[in-house]
A = this chain, B = another copy of it.
Amino acid sequence: MKFICEKNKLQEAISVTQKAVTGKSAMPILQGLLIDASEGKITITGSDIDLSIETKIDANIIENGKVVVDARLFGDIVRKLPNSSIEISSATDNSIEIICEKTKFNLIHMSADDFPVLPSIDEKNIFSIEQKLLKNMIRGTIFAIAQEESRPILTGVLVEIKDGRINLVALDGYRLALKSEAIDSDGSIKAVIPGKTLNEVVKILEDEGVVNITFTSNHILINLGDTKIISRLLEGEFIKYTSIIPEEYSLKITVERNKILNCIERASLVAKEGNTNLIKFDINDEFMVLTSNSQLGNVREELNIILQGEPLQIAFNAKYMIDLLKIMDEEEIYMEFSSSVSPCVVKNKQDDNCTYLVLPVRLLNN
């Protein structure tokens, strides 16, 4: 193997593919990146078996070949090299030689034969979506996935394509996040993508361009052109989320998102210390009162609202409200309530592309 490539391109390729290398694997080969030089390109691949990322960059290939090198060390070395051409070649003693200007590294490599083979996916049925839109949808839902492994399916995000729409749904038993957008496709799909995969995908997606997505029964392929992301899907049936979202309400308020977020964040400073992080809403005619207390003190916040319906007292875990209010993007939002023991539904005032739901905390005097 021998090739010459530009430092910047190589550094970027390493940075993208490293995202699939967890560094926690017991298998040393999975701490590595596969470098494959052939056909005028080098292909760099990182994998933890569940998630694999490969990316191609142009290079002057002098001799085909492939090796596996330690991802972190190789990445650190390339990042520190001068901004110039880099020549990489196999040396005799299980090492590669990296030459850049007056710097020469010899780096032990592992055998490319031991590197996991990526599943081959036939890109027949492709869904196309704007990278920016997909990134936005993932960010708008992923915070609501379950952190515990007790119900593995809930550690992923449901992707549902049907009737010309794409829906992303995450829920953890206490709250639900749904983002929905039109998609130019008459296909239909239902798959659950691991949260870990989507966390990395969000970092790779850019603000421009389109991404092509292919599903198989076990895998998703996200194709960005030079970069391909392949992840296994989570097995099992996702919860029928539509039945959870209430269609009616007895109270609807309009409120400025930033103002209620500030109120809840402040109130939770006192509540956090009591470990309940409980915040109470007392919703009245023209304003709502938010209160919270712990052994350290108490707080009372007053907020102007527009109210339609009956006054209500209800309590929430402040964290769940803060999470969704932070991620929403419109300045004015609706909050819909049915009773003090029914979920609260939060929506944008204008765009109906998202629905958030939070279960209340039942108080002793309810």
Chain A residues near B (Cβ < 8 Å):
70, 73, 76-77, 80-82, 95, 102-108, 262-263, 265-266, 269-270, 273, 295-303
What B residues does A95 contact at CB under 8 A?
Answer: 297
Contact B81–A266 (Cβ < 8 Å):
yes
Contact B302–A73 (Cβ < 8 Å):
no
Q: How far is the CB of A178 from chain B (nearest CB, A)?
A: 29
Contact A103–B269 (Cβ < 8 Å):
no
How many identical chains are in the complex? 2
Contact A296–B77 (Cβ < 8 Å):
no
* Candidates B82, B105, B265, B298; contact of A270 at CB < 8 Å: B105
What B residues does A102 contact at CB under 8 A?
Answer: 301-303
What B residues does A295 contact at CB under 8 A?
Answer: 108
Q: How far is the CB of A252 from chain B (nearest CB, A)?
A: 22
Residue of B nearest to A101 (CB): B302
Contact B273–A73 (Cβ < 8 Å):
yes
Q: How far is the CB of A94 from chain B (nearest CB, A)?
A: 10
Q: How far is the CB of A279 from chain B (nearest CB, A)?
A: 13
Q: How far is the CB of A319 from chain B (nearest CB, A)?
A: 15
What B residues does A273 contact at CB under 8 A?
Answer: 73
Contact A73–B299 (Cβ < 8 Å):
no
